[in-house]
Structure 1
Amino acid sequence: MSDLTAERRRKGAAPTSPPAKRTHFSGRTRRDFFVFLAFALPNLALIAVFTYRPLFANLQYSFLDWTLGSPRARNIGFDNYATFFGSDDAARVLGTTAIFTVLTVGLSMVLGLLVALALNARVRGTTFARSAVFAPYVLSGVGVGLVWMFIFDPGYGALSWILRSFGARSPEWFNDPQLALTMVILVYVWKNLGYCAVVYLAGLQSLPSDIMEAAAIDGAGSARRFWSISLPLLSPTTFFLLITTILSSLQAFDLIRIMTPLGTGTSTLIYEAYLQAFGSYNRAGYSAAISVVLFVILLVITVVQLRFVERKVHYA
């Protein structure tokens, strides 16, 4: 017995009782929990119905031999995956997807950073220039594809007219597989360049000015300040853009569908899945298997970026 309790008993005071334990689920906590459910359940229900349910349904369809529109389907296990990876289509489609993703992501980020550096200058007209650069990103991909089809048309396109004025002949952009892929990559980079530029511009404007001024006072030139200070401090912005642009490029569909309807040289994974299901094949099960392959690639890339690339991000 402690000295304090003995002293209280000598003075006739009742010993203090231990503090009452708080209930694990008090009234306020219960009320907050129900408020959370009221706000979260509708969103969770929509995500479950329109995201996870189709995801698991597509996984189930990938194990079926099913022609689109047919009332019957036959379970064939992993035959769709074996057919895809055992055919020449796998190397062609995966190679096209890799080339398209690497070039569109790399060009969009590099050119976006250069444009952002130009737009960050304090000169007249930068507001109009920023709007003009970002405008293509918010335009419809279908509309952009139709306009650029007119530009690239070898017969009456604007580009062919310019080449003819110099005595040159317009290439067959739509018939040559390599030129078709180049054409789609150029248009995709043009359309999404403004997104990278605006995000990089926001990152540049958030850089601490005192560090840049101190480096300038110490004699560091503009190029040295960019490579040694600005670029490392922009690593969170670069990391964010790397994730978003890779995911967007792997899911690019509208420009490819409009500019090359047959997928001549431009059959990426997502477009090959479309052609197999809704083209002349109607192979819904085979298309679902290609979609699962795309999902696994997206998942692996995201996990690798979050697990390893983020270690080099400078957040301080």
Structure 2
Amino acid sequence: MSKLQRKIYSYSFLVPAAIVYIIIFIVPTFLSFFFSLTRWTLSDWEYIGLDNFITFFKEPYLSIGFRNTFIYAVVTCGLKVVLGLLLGVLLTGALRIKNYLRSVVFFPTLVSTIAVGITFSVMMHPTTGLINETLSFFGIKGPDWLGNPSIALLSVAMVDVWKGVGFATVIYIAGIMSIPEQYYEALQIDGGGSWHKFWHIILPLSRPATNSVIILAFIGGLRSFDLIWAMTKGGPGFSTDVIASIIYKQYQAGFYGLSTAGNVILFLFVSLLAFPLSRFLTRKEVDL
């Protein structure tokens, strides 16, 4: 068998996966770009150029959607990184029940997002919710978590963190456990304590895990929709509207071409933020 034949034989194993990828991802992506330039229904379409994009950017509350999307992504990403790292350190320590605690921490990740949203909507009810009833038992008057425009977005973000921190923790556990034992042994010889272990070994050498968590959590925050819609539907008013919820409202109203243009804009928005961030983190990782 010649070198060319061996190469063809090797690449032939990629063909089934490539076909599935093209059908499920590449083709719908190009169709989305095309239909964003049309006024379409399930049975007909009309080419209208950039009108959908012009109309989308004239949306009066679009600036609020962009702002909320960015704030939501930064808050959820930051908290998942910090809490995931702390839990990762804790659950790779000498705890006797660490395997059980790992399961407990990861469990919310497995629960349906819609189910989580509905459950916490009930728990955050201002008068009959479990959270405010618990606070009132200690003499504290709880706020209207989802009805107050000032805190509604942050309330949903906290639920997102509760649900997603388990995944971040698993990534950190894998990163911390991959650190060679020789570093810890050298630290013990030098007389270092727990703080030195964390600051000089775990924190810098778990940077690949940190980069992965930042990228995944940030992109997830920018694309977030289902939890926000299940808990607030963008309300009260437009205080928790994100780009995805604005797009969905346009789809509900029957503006299919307009909502498709919104999806294209969301795709470009996420790409313009995520790719530079990924390159920056990767370069820092290499420099380390």
Q: State the Cα distance separating 1:302 from its structure 2 match.
A: 3.4
Which residue of structure 1 lines up, in the alignment, with residue 220 of structure 2?
248
Q: Cα RMSD over matched residues? A: 2.3
Once the two structures are TM-superposed, the CA of residue 32 in structure 1 deviates from its matched residue by: 5.9
Q: 1:159 aligns with which of 115, 120, 131?
A: 131
2:39 match: 65
Distance 1:29 1:314 in 2: 34
| Contact 2:37/2:49 (8 A) holds in 1 | yes
Q: Is the 8 A contact 2:124 2:130 kept in 1?
A: yes
Distance in 2 between residues matched to 1:262 and 1:310, nearest whole Å: 35
What amino acid is the match of 2:94? R
Cα distance in 2 for residues equivalent to 1:31 and 1:217: 52
State how 1:142-221 maps to structure 2 within 5 Å.
142-221=114-193
The question of whether the paired residues in 2 share the 8 Å contact of 1:112 and 1:200 is answered with yes
Shift of 1:64: 2.2
2-side partners of 1:119 and 1:199: how far apart? Answer: 12
Alpha-carbon spacing, 1:219–1:27, altered in 2? closer, same or farther (3 Å): closer
Provide structure 1 residue ranges, at least 5 long, that are not aligned to the other structure: 1-25
- Deviation sequence 1:220-279 (CA, Å, 0-9, x none): 33223322222111111111112211222222222112112354422222222112112x
Structure-2 separation of matches of 1:196 and 1:35: 35
Deviations 1:8-29 (CA, angstroms, capped at 9, x unpaired): xxxxxxxxxxxxxxxxxx5674
Alpha-carbon offset, residue 50 of structure 1 = 1.5
One-letter code aligned to 1:43: A
Distance in 1 between the 2:70 and 2:84 partners?
21
| Structure 1 residue 51: Cα displacement | 1.0
2:77 corresponds to which letter in structure 1?
A: V
**How far did 1:168 drift?**
4.1
Q: Identify the match of residue 8 of structure 2 among 10, 33, 37.
A: 33
State the Cα deviation string for residues 180-218 of structure 1 (Å, max 9, x = none): 212210110000011111111111111122122212322
Q: For residue 276 of structure 1, what is the aligned residue in structure 2?
A: 250
Distance 2:266 2:81 in 1: 23
- Please give the residue correspondences for 1:252-267 in structure 2 after superposition, counting only pairs within 5 Å: 252-264=224-236, 265-267=239-241
Q: Which residue of 2 aligns with 1:223?
A: 195
Shift of 1:99: 0.5
Give 3-state SS (helix, strand or coil) of 2:230's partner.
helix
| Corresponding residue of 2:208 | 236
- 1:53 matched to 2:27? The reply is yes
Cα gap change, 1:149/1:117 in structure 2, threshold over 3 Å: closer, same or farther?
same
Q: Match of 1:107?
A: 79
Higher relative contact order (CA 8 A, sep 6+): 2
User: 4+ runs of 1 displaced by more than 6 Å?
Assistant: none
Q: Matched residues, percent identical?
A: 33
Q: Quick check: 1:263–1:271 contact (8 Å CA) kept in 2?
A: no
Greater Cα shift, 226-235 or 95-104: 226-235
Tell me, in whole angstroms, the C-alpha distance in 2 between the residues paired with 1:225 and 1:310.
24
Could you list the runs of 5+ residues in structure 2 that have no partner in the other structure?
none
Q: Distance in 1 between matches of 2:163 and 2:240?
A: 17
The answer for the alignment partner of 1:297 in structure 2 is 269
Opposite residue 295 of structure 1, the aligned amino acid is F
Q: What TM-score do you get using the length of structure 1 for normalisation?
A: 0.82
Q: Which of the residues 6, 16, 22 maps onto 1:42?
A: 16
User: Which TM-score applies when normalising by structure 2?
Assistant: 0.90
Say if 1:245 and 1:255 are closer, same or farther in 2 by CA, change over 3 A: same
1:75 maps to which residue?
Answer: 47
C-alpha deviation, 1:73, in angstroms: 3.9
After superposition, the Cα gap between the structure-2 partners of 1:87 and 1:252, relative to the gap in structure 1 and judged at 3 Å, is: closer
How many residues of Structure 1 are paired with residues of Structure 2 in the alignment? 286
